[in-house]
């Protein structure tokens, strides 16, 4: 019988990159040992694949390794039957990761073997041995990590630089055995300029603009691989990081603590303290899209809104999916917590409603020629024409243009009262304020808020009839299908013809039992704004018509 051919891939890994530049390194040694083991199993049909899967300088605590990911991709593609490693901890040092790898290998019909650790995973004892080995590997990795963290903390307490990309203004000490920083004179001048610019402007954006104009650039650093980084225009974030880095004060930071460093300072204590104080003051300022704008521009109705208790409505906002949502809420909700009587209204909807009420009010006054309390016909007509044009322009310009018109706005559960500024209107129509008709300066309209899904719908003024085509169509179908059922046609046939489920068809047919008042409101378009088809079909309708009308607010 012919021996089956087993395609073997060798995986090697080394946690650090030390010695990898040698002609024969640790990865080569692992590969050679694995290749020899595969050759010893040639009689079993083992054949080594030419591709190498190496990961140098990468910890075994993660699966995000280029070589391992290429190996897994080839396993999933069915190109590999056996994975050969020098030791199990070369594959992974995490029990959780190992369990995922085993599941993935088994799913692809692939096995693995360690050339220095003999065990058979087909038996319970072999699996126990494997888990014990992996537990020790994971323990070793965690202990090593703790030891490294302790070493870094102890070294920083002594003021030593622990490597990495040096900050702008410093270079590593020429002697690699001395973990210290030395001042780079040219770059130190850039750092000193940045601190001086912030002390002058008190603004990161202004510092960034002037730094670019002066030709100040970030630190240019060349890595051992030949890759270069930096030498670019300084951003606001980079400047802020420089201004808050205590290394320029001659200290080394470790987490939230700083220690006296071995390197000289670039910035003196007086300049450092001044800049930190300015940064603290700037961080306390208002942030967001409206930062730097007048309050009236961010919230045009600020200070003009009150609820029925006399409590002012305060502008506020939330952030959702990187979108800024503005609201006006009763002040007691901010200062005193939850209150069922408090208002929380979406700002754009409320502002649009008030703008519409005010401009419609002025337009109606102009059409009725009731702008002035008295006067000659030509004067009254001219004032009406100017007020009509003013209302139209205000409507076009939006709420910020209308805000000066509004002296105070009071919201109550069923009405809204708006007091207008007489001088602003008088200036617009070019008449003395004393000559304006009293009706010009005040308006009251019905006002209700309805919840419609996740949206708060504001209904104000005399609502115009508005047909809901979906509800009208559903009501028509309800009566037609109900009549068909009475003639003996089955519900299943009706549902199939309409291409809907029988359950949904039954819910639509139930609408034929709505009270005459509700059906008339739907047909006339005068139903409540929160009465939708979804609401009608998603709940069981009361049998009594009075109960239906009370339930839907009609």
pLDDT in tens, 443-497: 888 877 765 433 455 655 555 566 778 888 888 888 888 888 888 888 888 888 8
Q: What is the full DSSP assignment across 482-527? A: HHHHHTT--HHHHHHHHTS-HHHHHHHHGGGGS-HHHHHHHHHT-S
Contact in structure between 532 and 471 (CB atoms under 8 Å): yes
For the CA atoms of 457, 462, 468, 469, the dihedral, rounded to the nearest 10 degrees, stands at: -140
**CATH annotation of 170-283:** 3.90.1750.20
Contact in structure between 299 and 286 (CB atoms under 8 Å): no
Is the pLDDT at 194 greater than 90? The verdict is yes
Q: Running DSSP on this structure, what letter comes out for residue 338?
A: -
Range name among 21-30, 174-183, 238-247, 278-287 with the lowest pLDDT average: 278-287
Q: Would you list the domain boundaries of the chain?
A: 6-142, 170-283, 300-460, 469-551
Contact in structure between 408 and 422 (CB atoms under 8 Å): no
pLDDT digits (tens, 9 = 90+) for 208-264: 889 999 999 988 888 777 788 888 888 888 898 899 999 898 888 887 788 888 889
Structure tokens of 102? 């085993």
- Closest of 65, 149, 148, 77 to residue 110, by C-alpha: 77
pLDDT at position 192 is 92
Is the pLDDT at 1 greater than 60? The verdict is no
Percent helix / strand / coil, the chain, rounded to 5: 50, 20, 35
pLDDT digits (tens, 9 = 90+) for 101-160: 877 888 888 888 888 876 555 456 666 766 776 676 677 767 777 887 888 788 788 888
Contact in structure between 194 and 215 (CB atoms under 8 Å): no
Collect all residues with Cβ–Cβ distance below 8 Å to 74 and sequence separation of at least 6. 9, 51, 80
CATH of 6-142, one of 3.40.50.1390, 3.40.50.720, 2.30.110.10, 3.40.50.300: 3.40.50.1390
- Closest of 269, 249, 267 to residue 258, by C-alpha: 249
Q: Is 62 helix (H, G, I), strand (E, B) or coil?
A: coil
Contact in structure between 73 and 32 (CB atoms under 8 Å): no
292 against 275, higher pLDDT: 275
Contact in structure between 515 and 539 (CB atoms under 8 Å): no
Give 297-304 contacts, CB < 8 A, sequence gap 24+.
297/400, 299/326, 299/328, 299/347, 300/351, 300/399, 300/400, 300/402, 300/403, 301/328, 301/347, 301/350, 301/351, 301/354, 301/399, 301/403, 301/406, 301/409, 304/403, 304/406, 304/407, 304/408, 304/409
Contact in structure between 142 and 60 (CB atoms under 8 Å): no
Pairing relation of β-strands 305-307 and 406-411?
parallel
CA gyration radius for the chain?
39
pLDDT at position 7 is 92
pLDDT at position 127 is 65
The model's pTM is: 0.38
Is the pLDDT at 9 greater than 90? The verdict is yes
Q: What is the mean pLDDT of residues 383-404?
A: 87
pLDDT at position 529 is 62
Burial (Cβ within 10 Å: 0-12, 13-18, ≥19) of residue 78:
exposed
Is the pLDDT at 290 greater than 70? The verdict is no
């Amino acid at each position: 019988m012919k021996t089956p051919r087993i395609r073997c891939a060798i995986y090697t890994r080394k946690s650090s990159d030390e010695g990898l530049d040698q002609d024969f390194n640790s990865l080569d040694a692992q590969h050679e040992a694995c290749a020899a083991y595969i050759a010893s199993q040639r009689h079993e049909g083992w054949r080594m694949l030419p591709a190498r899967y190496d990961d140098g300088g990468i910890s075994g605590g993660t699966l995000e390794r280029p070589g391992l990911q290429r190996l897994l991709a080839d396993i999933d593609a069915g190109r590999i039957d056996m994975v050969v490693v020098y030791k199990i901890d070369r594959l992974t040092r995490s029990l959780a990761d190992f369990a995922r790898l085993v599941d993935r290998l088994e799913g692809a019909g692939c096995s693995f073997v360690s050339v220095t650790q003999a065990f058979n995973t087909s038996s319970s004892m072999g699996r126990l041995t494997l888990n014990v080995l992996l537990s020790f590997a994971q323990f070793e990795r965690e202990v090593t990590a703790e030891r490294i963290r302790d070493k870094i903390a102890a070294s920083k307490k002594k003021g030593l630089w622990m490597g990495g990309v040096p900050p702008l203004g410093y270079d590593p000490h020429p002697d690699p055995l001395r973990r210290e920083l030395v001042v780079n004179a040219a770059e130190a001048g850039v750092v000193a300029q940045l601190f001086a610019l912030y002390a002058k402007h008190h603004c990161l954006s202004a510092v960034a603009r002037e730094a670019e104009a002066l030709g100040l650039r970030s630190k240019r650093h060349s890595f051992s691989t030949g890759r270069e980084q930096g030498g670019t225009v300084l951003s606001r974030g980079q400047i802020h990081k420089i201004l808050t880095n205590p290394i320029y004060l001659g200290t080394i930071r470790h987490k939230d603590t700083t220690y006296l460093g071995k390197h000289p300072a670039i910035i003196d204590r007086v300049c450092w303290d001044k800049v930190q104080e300015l940064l603290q003051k700037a961080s306390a300022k208002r942030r967001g899209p409206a930062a730097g704008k007048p309050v009236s521009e961010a919230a045009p109705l600020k200070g003009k809104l009150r609820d029925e208790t006399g409590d002012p409505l305060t502008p506020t906002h939330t952030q959702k999916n990187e979108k800024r949502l503005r609201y006006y809420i009763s002040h007691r909700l901010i200062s005193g917590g939850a209150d069922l009587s408090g208002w929380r209204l979406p700002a754009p909807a409320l502002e649009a409603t008030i703008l519409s009420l005010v401009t419609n009010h002025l337009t109606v006054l102009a059409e009725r020629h009731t702008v002035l309390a008295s006067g000659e016909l030509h004067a009254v007509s001219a004032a009406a024409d100017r007020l009509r044009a003013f209302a139209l322009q205000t409507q076009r310009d939006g709420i910020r243009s209308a805000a000066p018109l509004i002296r105070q706005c009071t919201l109550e559960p069923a009405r809204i009262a708006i007091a207008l500024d007489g001088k602003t209107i008088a200036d617009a129509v070019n008449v003395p304020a004393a000559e304006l008709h009293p009706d010009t300066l005040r308006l009251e309209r019905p006002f209700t808020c309805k919840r419609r899904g996740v949206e708060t719908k504001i209904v104000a003024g005399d609502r115009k009839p508005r047909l809901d085509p979906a509800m009208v169509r559903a009501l028509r179908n309800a009566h037609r299908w109900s009549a068909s059922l009475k003639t003996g046609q089955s519900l299943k046939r009706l549902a199939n013809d309409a291409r809907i489920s029988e359950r949904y068809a039954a819910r639509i047919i139930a609408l034929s039992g709505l009270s005459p008042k509700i059906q008339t409101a739907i047909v006339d378009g005068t139903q409540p704004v929160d009465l939708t088809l979804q609401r009608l079909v998603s709940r069981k309708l009361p049998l009594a018509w009075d109960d239906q009308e009370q339930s839907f607010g009609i």
